[in-house]
Amino acid sequence: MKRFRFNASTLHREKICDRFEYPMQLDMKKYMSTKSDLVDEESCLYKLSGVVVHSGMVDAGHYYSFIKERNSLKEKWYRFDDRSITDFNPNDLPVETFGGDKTSSWYDPTTDPYRTRNVYMLFYEREKTKTPEEIGNGLQILKDSVPKDLLQSIRQENTSLLHERLHFDPYFLVFLREVVENLSVTETSECPEDDFVLQTLKHATNLFFETIVIERNEQSCLHWIDILSRHYLLHLPACKWILNTLCTTKTNWFCSYFLESNDTWLRESLKHFLETVLSVVSIREDHLLLDYCVSLPPQLDGVIPFEKWSNYDLQKLFLYTSNIAPEHVEKLKPYNVSDVHGWYKKNEISLKIEEIGLPQEISLKIQEGIKNALNKVEPKQIPTMPTLAKFTTYLFRIMEDTRNHWRRFQQYWSLLDFLTTKCGDTEKHYILEHHKLVTRLLDYYMGPYTLYKREDERVTLGVKGVTVDLSSFFWLLSHAICSCNNFAMQSGSRSFDMPPTLLTSYPSPLFNHDVEFLTNNELMGSFIRQCYNVNAIREMIKHLSWEDTEKSIYLLAAIQEFHAKIDTNSYIILLRSILELEDSLQPLRISILLTNKGKGLLHSSFFKEADEKAFQLLKLFLDLGKAKPLVASWLKKNGTLEQILIRYDDLFMRKRRESYKTFKIELLQTLEENNTPFPPISSPYEEIPSWTQ
């Protein structure tokens, strides 16, 4: 109705409240072309069906509508306002919508003489509509103007769009969440595939990964994960299903949301969800994993490059022996267990091996190794791989791929750590021995500088100037090493108490690969120098040093070699860990480390600056002197510490003042009160040897 205009005189917008009357029925015939024979009088009649009203002025107003009900026997009208829908009498339309002057019994020029309720928009509907055939008086009309295939395609797209809109509708998702939340789940170990609860959990999980996660609504996702966790905790078949599903490349859920997602909260919550699932499967299927492990042939160390191990693990059988070089064994890669088993049954194994093109003496060794393996374990005797074994194998298979996701792989290592340390001894031994966890981790850390030849170029972790977060990785490595024999335990040359760092009553062996890595100067030097997780490295050092003279000296040399490159706090933690270790070698380590010779801690070079590191070393001597009598006994017997305090007393006083004065008195008093005799030491080492990089 063009109720608003701009007044050029006042330069303001204003509302036109003039009276405007409109009919209930509108005849449009006089506006139609008279040349057309198809114009029908009835088709030109329109009846009012709706009115939009504006109430108020130009800067402040309100819109509401009067609408006639369609397809009703009686002509009923309703008023549609923001908060209510009420009946309306169409006879009141003139008063409510025409506008114009107000009706008043007296004249008041100070008030607005116009009604501010005015019609803004009118809607008319044709009373009678004829079909094209009726209008054309029997003439043919064009049909099927759109090809059927195109029409079908458009309908499918529109239907798909409608489904997606409904699928992502927040009210619909809330409804589904409440349905799943109220699902009655009882503790279940077995159920048929078409079980209602199992199918519901499957659909709910699919909905979560395919729809809910895409919205990236943290509160909604966490609510869903909490619901699913509570249900999965009671339902073993559902737990097995989700682990098997995550192992497939069809869904790719694990990599998409566990490695590629930038949302830390999502990766953490999914990790906790999977820990719940793994704990259920571990408890209920421990016996199956044990039977499977017993059925496998013994793991032979030092045979095939472990980057190829997963290829053989999937075949459930290793086709090699310990006296065959890796480059020869690798030629068996194109063949699987079924192939070799067929050769063996047909007495064609000699011919087939010779066709591979290996030297005769190597061929004979391989034949013998295959025969031995197949005699021990027939393929038909190997039990079906349990769910936990499948999922673990999958985690190891994608380990190398995590190098591309180094910004987001912390949860991956934490999940593998949970499998290794929290799921039971059977799982621990399966991962440590069957998958050779320690060797795999050490090789992973070495990256392009691994001790093994690789056909492909390995991706380096991180970028220049950005520190990679390897704290979770080192916790896993530390727990793995502390679940194995250390070097002294492995040699079995003498009896002694088990190290306090040992995490299991039945430790796994250290393989030749592990020994080779852990005695590599480049790797151990990097551990100390980078110190990504000082607490994890501390536990590894304590475990490897226990009752082992060579490794104790080796690790002491590594710590002292790189002391200037690590922060003071980490340095003190590492020193404390090795000095506090209470085994038969503690006196030796104390006497070699707390000396003024070579790189000993009492060498004057550590104190001549009286800096923070020097002061922290003195505090370490005080703490250990109180807690470990042997330390105080050696410091008192050696006498070098007192000489250092005298020599650098003025320097410490200038830099530390009263705190140093009080500290010095307490330290000297601790040494004076100690009466513990220091035992005699029989060792070729008098000082820390030099480190060879």
Residue type, 179: V
According to DSSP, residue 508 is labeled B
The yes-or-no verdict on residue 470 having pLDDT over 50 is: yes
Per residue in 112-167, pLDDT (tens digit) is 566 788 899 999 998 877 666 666 665 555 666 778 899 899 999 999 999 888 88
The yes-or-no verdict on residue 306 having pLDDT over 50 is: no
Report the range out of 2-11, 218-227, 650-659 with the highest average pLDDT: 218-227
Phi, psi values for residue 329, rounded to 5°: -65, -30
Got the DSSP string for 153-171? HHHHHHHHHHHHHHHT-HH
pTM listed for this prediction:
0.69
Distance CA 668, CA 641 (A): 9
CA 39, 41, 42: angle at the middle one, nearest 5? 115
What is the mean pLDDT of the segment spanning 356-376? Answer: 63
- At 35, is the pLDDT very low, low, confident or very high (cuts 50, 70, 90)? low
Per residue in 260-281, pLDDT (tens digit) is 999 999 999 999 999 999 999 9
Residue type, 419: L
Instruction: Give 442: exposed, middle or buried? Use CB within 10 Å, 0-12, 13-18, 19+.
Output: buried
According to DSSP, residue 484 is labeled B
pLDDT at res. 135:
61
The yes-or-no verdict on residue 358 having pLDDT over 70 is: no
The yes-or-no verdict on residue 58 having pLDDT over 50 is: yes
- Helix, strand, coil share (%) of the chain residues, nearest 5: 55, 10, 35
According to DSSP, residue 255 is labeled I
- Rounded percentage of the chain residues whose pLDDT exceeds 90: 35
Residues 6+ positions from 459 with CB-CB distance below 8 Å: 403, 404, 447
Distance CA 438, CA 416 (A): 12
Q: Are 251 and 209 in contact (CB under 8 A)?
A: yes
pLDDT at res. 314:
29
Phi, psi values for residue 391, rounded to 5°: -65, -40
CA 500, 504, 510: angle at the middle one, nearest 5? 90
Per residue in 510-542, pLDDT (tens digit) is 887 788 888 888 888 889 988 999 999 999 999
Per residue in 174-211, pLDDT (tens digit) is 999 999 999 999 999 999 999 999 999 999 999 999 99
Q: Which range is least confidently modeled, 56-65, 188-197, 320-329, 654-663?
A: 320-329
Paired strand residues for 50: 67, 123
The yes-or-no verdict on residue 411 having pLDDT over 80 is: yes
Positive or negative, the CA dihedral 106, 111, 114, 115 is negative
For residue 499, the SS3 value is coil
- Rounded percentage of the chain residues whose pLDDT exceeds 70: 81
Which is it for strands 85-88 and 77-80: parallel, antiparallel or unpaired? antiparallel
- At 74, is the pLDDT very low, low, confident or very high (cuts 50, 70, 90)? confident
Residue 61, H or E segment: strand 61-68
Per residue in 480-496, pLDDT (tens digit) is 999 998 888 877 666 67
To the nearest 10°, the Cα dihedral for 622, 626, 631, 634? 90
In angstroms, what CA-CA distances link 464 with 468, 494, 530, 571, 668?
10, 48, 15, 25, 48
214: nearest Cα among 275, 167, 161, 248: 167
Distance CA 361, CA 8 (A): 107
Q: What is the mean pLDDT of the chain?
A: 82
Question: Residue 140 CB: number of other CB atoms within 10 A?
Answer: 7
Distance CA 252, CA 212 (A): 16
579: nearest Cα among 537, 603, 607, 545: 545
Can you say whether residue 290 is alpha, beta or left, with left for phi > 0 and alpha for psi between -120 and 50 degrees? alpha
Got the DSSP string for 106-153? S--TTS--B-SEEEEEEEEEES----HHHHTTT-------S-HHHHHH
What separation, in Å, do the N-terminal and C-terminal C-alpha atoms of the chain show?
Answer: 91
What is the mean pLDDT of the segment spanning 395-421? Answer: 93
Q: Which two tokens stand for residue 127?
A: 């009373």
Largest CA distance in the chain: 128
Q: Are 118 and 3 in contact (CB under 8 A)?
A: yes
**What is the total residue count of the chain?**
693
pLDDT at res. 575:
92
The yes-or-no verdict on residue 18 having pLDDT over 90 is: no
